[in-house]
Structure 1
Amino acid sequence: MDTTEPTAVALPGSAGDTAKVRAALPPESARVGPGFIAAITGASFGTWLALVPATTVTLALRVEQVAPQRKAETLSLVLTVGAAVALVAQNIFGALSDRTTSRFGMRRPWIAAGALLGVASLGLLATASTVGLLVLAWASTQLTFNMLLAGLNPVLPDQVPAAQLGRLSAVTGLTSYLAIAGGAFLAQLFLPNLTPAILVPGVVCLVTVGVFLIVLRDRRLDPAERPPFRMGLLLRAYWVNPRKAPDFAWAWLSRFLVFWGSVTLTSYLTYFLMGRFGYTPDTIGPVVSQVLLINGCSVVLASLVLGALSDRMRRRKPFVLTAGVVSAGALVLAALSTSLSMFFVATAIGGIAAGCYVSVDQALVAEVLPSRTEVGKDMGVFHLANVLPQTLVPAVAPLLLAIGGHGANYSAFFITSAVVALVGALCILRVRSVR
């Protein structure tokens, strides 16, 4: 990698903006090396490893401990409040990182603070003894880890030239799914003891992020280049004009709808298995671990194969379309599962779809970003497509689960989400600038 410290360019708003946008792209001579690739991949993996076990297993079991009589309603409350915090947090922190003039760089302060405070929040989650404390702990976890992600996500467009962007985006995008397998291993290792199951992934996150912060040669923003602060900055942190950036808008909508299907299964996986197949809190851990391992392995294998095929074909949209359609089919199969083995098959198919999606989606997003001078803000806007389903799915879940009035109707819940994911797959056809 080039040893010159990266520097930021001025924000748009004056003559010559087009040239400044082009200048923000790292030159071909700044190709990143194996050390940077390994470090950012490790940091991304560590971050998701700290979050995935809590999202899929340990949070639901903590709710079971604290409020066993109203666990579904309480989990929906905790998830909804946490997702609402995430909805606000990453966009604000991302926009602020674009304006950070610290001598440590633009992104590094937010990454470091998010990691340290995030692990402290996991400690509160592990020890919370009331519903109120659970809500506070998960909200704090979402706030702090989104601070971390607000600094981490813009690093690729900041540091990586176009020739390497697609490949490295696919690798880092894969880490969230690798964290599923890692989280499953740790859950099976520590459960039913929830405290280490929550805290050990946080420690791994601290180590991997710490290594990355040492390797990172962060962009620095000259204070003279930073425009005056205006309240409109906070409002603009949530908006990209779809008329000016239609491809970005369609890619955003596609991810929002496809992720709706993913959130449906991951957020309610534990309760679905307990309700459909009769598992208890004492016996559910190994089963969830098996499901997550199957899903994670399917994602990794599919991503490696299909990502290489996408590069060879120089096409992205057919893979995103296929992934959304197959994901919808996996949700329908999960809804109709009458045996654990049938559900395992649905999980594997869903993993293949997710692997196909992640192998090309990050590269597609990088190619449709509206501006290279407001990467933190724009990545925050795109992150809303991940966060909004986490807010809306728990909000509508009780209505869909109540259909029929005889216990939780997971079939109606999953099939509705399959239709949503299918529509999301079709939306990608409207993107014009990417094949």
Structure 2
Amino acid sequence: MKTTISLKRLVPGLIIGPASWLGPYIVMNSLFLPALIQHLDAPHKIELVALFSTCGMIVAAISNMIAGALSDKTKSRFGKRAPWIMGGAFVFMLAMMAASVSPTVPVLLAAWMVGQAALNFIVAPMVAWIDFAPKDGRGTASSAYGGLGMALGNNGFNVIGAMFLSQFRLGFVIFGIIAFVGVLIAVLIVHEPSNVDDVDAPKQPKPKLTLKDAKAIFPGWSVGRDYYLALMGKLFQGVGNFAITGYILYIMTDFLHRGSQTQSSIQLINLIMLIFGIFMGFVAGPVSDKFKILKYPVGFSTIFLAFGALALFFLRDNIGIIIYAFAAGIGMGMWNSLDNLLNLEVIPDQNRVAFFLGVYNLGNTVTQAIAPVIAAAVISLFGFSAIFLFSFVFSLIGGILMLSIKSVKR
């Protein structure tokens, strides 16, 4: 029988949980890591950020699929998700402490990769908590995870993280501890029931794995069409978004030349995005549940992201920064509130929820890895200004792919 957890427990956990892993990761990835790389090897900082992103993408992709698959098959007195979530949080904290004392780029890279693997052992099982929600409350649960939890993670922590720009090594330690403690609180609140006594379907003899059996892992296009469209849509939208946020420090210093106003500008952007993200988190899920509308708000949310990118490209001043923050706040708030629910609706195998949701949520880590690599190439070829046009195009493509989904009507 399918496990159902009350929204009274699930919603707080789905807010605190993703905020606790995503917030520290965003701060370290967008602020502390570039700052430490610049400290260790300033002449090659752009190339090194791209290197870290490429390696992180590979590690994240592999560890995420492994974590999701293991979580789906786990039986314990703490449930199938909690043991992996807590193990990942503990190792992530240790890895960030190691990163804080790294004396060279190779040591920093090794610590960061361990952290990337551990992070995905939090991500893949945790997003599957949404599937514990009652049928008529899945929109609310998705909104809690993406709209509120991820809004706090994406923007709330950066407001505080910017204060540690001059003490970035200490920042790694503090935010690593915050991640562990926050995830622990979320796990205790959700309090998954034991699944030791769950009855499995009769086991069939396992055939020898061949290349034809790859469909057992990823189904063919005819079965998984809408899932793949959702996945590609998230990747395009994520790359468009993180192409800007991943280089926000360098955009402020090297492109907009904010100088002493760099810290306050980053805080302003994240504060505005946080406010709108939280607002959409409260509104989007319940509205989706009531009016049975899902695909359209997710698809059209990318228009706001695209508009925000153009504002920075054309204005390049305080007004452009504020318009970008407003537009991105509304767009990301709407997207984060509902995109996980949309994906849950198009999963091709309901017995592997954590696996497929985990792969989908690679969009939160892999796109942060892909975006700086592509952005670095765009910057080197065309200059910083081209990154905003790149973000505009990718955001729109992401929305079009989402709107092409057929199994979810509106």
Question: TM-score under structure 1 normalisation?
Answer: 0.85
1:142-181 → structure 2 map (5 Å cutoff): 142-157=116-131, 159-174=132-147, 175-181=149-155
Partner of 1:192: 166
Partner of 1:217: 193
Structure 2 counterpart of 1:172, which letter?
Y
Cα distance in 2 between the residues matched to 1:358 and 1:148? 18
Partner of 1:335: 313
CA distances 1:266-312 after superposition (whole Å, capped 9, x unpaired)? 111111111123245x7633332222222222222234344444344
Q: Give the C-alpha shift of residue 242 in structure 1.
A: 2.4
Equivalent residues of 1:97, 1:110 under 8 A apart: yes
Structure 2 counterpart of 1:296, which letter?
L
Cα distance in 1 between the residues matched to 2:115 and 2:205? 31
Q: Give the C-alpha shift of residue 399 in structure 1.
A: 2.4
Partner of 1:347: 325
Structure 2 counterpart of 1:360, which letter?
L
Pairing partner for 2:385 from 383, 405, 411: 411
CA distances 1:202-235 after superposition (whole Å, capped 9, x unpaired)? 2222222223333222544568867778777996
Pair 1:241 & 2:220 matched: yes
Shift of the 92–31 alpha-carbon distance from structure 1 to 2, 3 Å rule, reads closer
Partner of 2:405: 431
Partner of 2:304: 326
Greater fraction helix: 2
Pairing partner for 1:275 from 232, 248, 254: 254
Q: Give the C-alpha shift of residue 141 in structure 1.
A: 1.2
Pair 1:61 & 2:35 matched: yes
Equivalent residues of 2:32, 2:169 under 8 A apart: no
Cα distance in 2 between the residues matched to 1:332 and 1:43? 33
Pairing partner for 2:97 from 123, 128, 131: 123
Pair 1:298 & 2:276 matched: yes
Between the aligned residues of both structures, percent identity stands at: 23
Cα distance in 2 between the residues matched to 1:411 and 1:92? 39
Shift of the 61–111 alpha-carbon distance from structure 1 to 2, 3 Å rule, reads same
Q: Give the C-alpha shift of residue 402 in structure 1.
A: 2.1
Output the aligned Cα RMSD.
Answer: 2.6
Cα distance in 2 between the residues matched to 1:235 and 1:95? 15
Deviates most, 387-396 or 78-87: 387-396
Structure 2 counterpart of 1:155, which letter?
W
Shift of the 357–231 alpha-carbon distance from structure 1 to 2, 3 Å rule, reads same
Structure 1 counterpart of 2:288, which letter?
S
Q: Give the C-alpha shift of residue 102 in structure 1.
A: 3.8
Q: Give the C-alpha shift of residue 81 in structure 1.
A: 1.0
Partner of 1:255: 234
Gaps of 5+ in 2: none
Cα distance in 2 between the residues matched to 1:307 and 1:224? 34
Counterpart of 1:410 in 2: which secondary structure? coil
Cα distance in 1 between the residues matched to 2:194 and 2:384? 46
Q: Give the C-alpha shift of residue 63 in structure 1.
A: 1.1
Cα distance in 1 between the residues matched to 2:258 and 2:321? 14
Q: Give the C-alpha shift of residue 123 in structure 1.
A: 0.6
Deviates most, 132-141 or 31-40: 31-40
Cα distance in 2 between the residues matched to 1:228 and 1:393? 43
Pairing partner for 2:244 from 265, 280, 296: 265
Counterpart of 1:128 in 2: which secondary structure? coil
Shift of the 428–224 alpha-carbon distance from structure 1 to 2, 3 Å rule, reads closer
Cα distance in 2 between the residues matched to 1:227 and 1:414? 53
Equivalent residues of 1:114, 1:144 under 8 A apart: yes
Equivalent residues of 1:187, 1:285 under 8 A apart: no
CA distances 1:23-46 after superposition (whole Å, capped 9, x unpaired)? 54x4xxx45142343234222221
Partner of 2:179: 205
Cα distance in 1 between the residues matched to 2:303 and 2:277? 16
Partner of 2:110: 136
Structure 2 counterpart of 1:413, which letter?
I
Pairing partner for 1:317 from 284, 287, 295: 295
Q: Give the C-alpha shift of residue 195 in structure 1.
A: 2.9
Gaps of 5+ in 1: 1-22
Pair 1:96 & 2:70 matched: yes
Shift of the 332–370 alpha-carbon distance from structure 1 to 2, 3 Å rule, reads same
Equivalent residues of 2:375, 2:387 under 8 A apart: yes
Deviates most, 193-202 or 261-270: 193-202
Q: Give the C-alpha shift of residue 432 in structure 1.
A: 1.8
Cα distance in 1 between the residues matched to 2:313 and 2:203? 52
Q: Give the C-alpha shift of residue 387 in structure 1.
A: 4.2
Cα distance in 2 between the residues matched to 1:262 and 1:218? 39
Q: Give the C-alpha shift of residue 103 in structure 1.
A: 4.3
Equivalent residues of 1:184, 1:290 under 8 A apart: no
Deviates most, 212-221 or 89-98: 212-221
Question: TM-score under structure 2 normalisation?
Answer: 0.89
Q: Give the C-alpha shift of residue 415 in structure 1.
A: 0.4
Equivalent residues of 1:111, 1:151 under 8 A apart: yes
Q: Give the C-alpha shift of residue 105 in structure 1.
A: 3.0
Shift of the 135–101 alpha-carbon distance from structure 1 to 2, 3 Å rule, reads same
Q: Give the C-alpha shift of residue 238 in structure 1.
A: 6.1
Partner of 1:12: none
Pair 1:51 & 2:25 matched: yes
Pair 1:73 & 2:47 matched: yes
Cα distance in 2 between the residues matched to 1:418 and 1:104? 44
Partner of 1:18: none
Equivalent residues of 1:186, 1:197 under 8 A apart: no
Structure 2 counterpart of 1:112, which letter?
M
Structure 1 counterpart of 2:193, which letter?
R
